[in-house]
Each structure stands twice: as structure tokens, then as C-alpha cells.
Amino acid sequence: MNKGLLIVLSAPSGAGKGTIIKKLMDDDRSLKLSVSATTRSPRPGEVDGEDYFFLSREEFEDLVKNGEMLEHAEYVGNCYGTPKGPVERWLEDGLDVILEIDVQGGAQVKEIMPECVSIFILPPSMRELENRLRGRSTEQDEVVNARLEAARNEVHRAEDYDYVVVNDEVEVAAEEIRTIIAAEKHRFSRVSSIVERVLIDA
């Protein structure tokens, strides 16, 4: 069986990653989304173990020390990381896995798993990013300002990614990502065994 595809999705906070991922997952029930660990506080409505594993800094650092994180990074004052176990198991089982992580984490994953596919989601403009971030009303003003500041640096990192998708319309952006995933599954390096199978069956 072919291994699953590891898909790294990054974007500045507020660009619409969460919204697009929800659409992708609703349309493809076999797609797995890695649940990250974080030291930030839950937003209203966020559920521990579903949106994130909400941990103390000490608990987070223990996981890192024990080698249980695939990658981890600090983002605007909080730690975020990807627990390794579930991602490795899903990939082995042939399931496609999405990591919704920041640009620092994206660079780490590219280094250790270069076969991953990386996609950077851009907002249509920085002004629209600010509107979305403020419109979401999940963060205090100073946190929104810090995230907008971080966003300017993150957008420059789009050049490190395999693909860039602009999230103007959610449905269009989701369709573009589906197309990228579909094309990546036909990359020769992922399907070379099919060539051998065709010859054997001759």
C-alpha cells in the first residue's frame, strides 16, 4: 500500500486556514487533521483534544524532551507543536494527513519529511487579513496587532512552499487545494510501484 500524503498548510493567522480545512474535511472524510498541542488558552467553543491539546508550558516541554513532537515552535508568546504518533500511524495506514502549522514548523517538517507537500494560503490583501482577524473577535486588540505584525514576516516565507493559494472565496481556494492534492498523488516518486505492477501483469 502507498503511504498517505503529508500536507503542510500554513498561512498568516486570520487568512482562513481553519475555514478552508473544515470545508476540505467535510468533503473528504478520509482526510486526517493532526490535532496540535499548544500552551495558549482555549477560545470560547474550542474543545480540548479536538481543536488542540491545551497544555501547561511544563507539560508541553516534557513532550518535546521525550521526543514526542514532530515539530514545534513559539508563535506570538505561545508554544505550538505536532504530536508525532498519530501522524506517523495515519501515513503508514495510507491516509492523507493535514498539518495546520506556522512557517517555522513548516520549515522543520520540510527538513525531516521532504516528501511532504507544502501549501501557503495568502489573504487577498493585508487589509482584508486585518478585517478577518478583527471580524473573528477571538483575540484582544494587542494580540491582533501582534499577529498582524507576525503576518508581514510570514507572507515572505511563501517562497519556501511548493504551492500558493489565495483565499478570496473559500470554495475556490478549497477546490484549488483539492486539485493540488490530486495532482501530487500522481507524482512519479509516489507511484513508481504501479509501473512495475503493470509490467508484471502483462
Instruction: Give Cα 73 distance to the centre of its chain.
Output: 13
27 binds ligand ADP (CB under 6 A): no
Site for ligand ADP in 144-183 (CB under 6 A): 167-170
- 170 or 195, CB closer to ligand ADP? 170
* Least distance from ligand 5GP to the Cβ atom of residue 30, Å: 21
Window of 25-33, 68-76, 117-125, 194-202 that interacts with ligand 5GP by CB under 6 A: 68-76
Secondary-structure percent of the chain, ordered helix, strand, coil, rounded to 5: 50, 20, 30
Nearest approach, Cβ of residue 114 and ligand 5GP (Å) = 17
Minimum CB distance to ligand ADP smaller for 136 or for 190: 136
Query: Considering the rule CB under 6 A, would residue 19 count as an interface residue with ligand ADP?
Result: yes
Q: Please state the separation of Cα 162 from the chain's center in Å.
A: 13
Q: Which of residues 20-39 bind ligand 5GP (CB under 6 A)?
A: 36
- What is the C-alpha to C-alpha distance for residues 24 and 9, in angstroms, rounded to an integer? 12
DSSP 49-104: TTTBEE--HHHHHHHHHTT-EEEEEEETTEEEEEEHHHHHHHHHTT--EEEE--HH
Cell of 14: 486570520
Binding site for ligand 5GP (CB under 6 A): 13, 36, 40, 71, 73, 75, 80-82, 100-102, 104-105
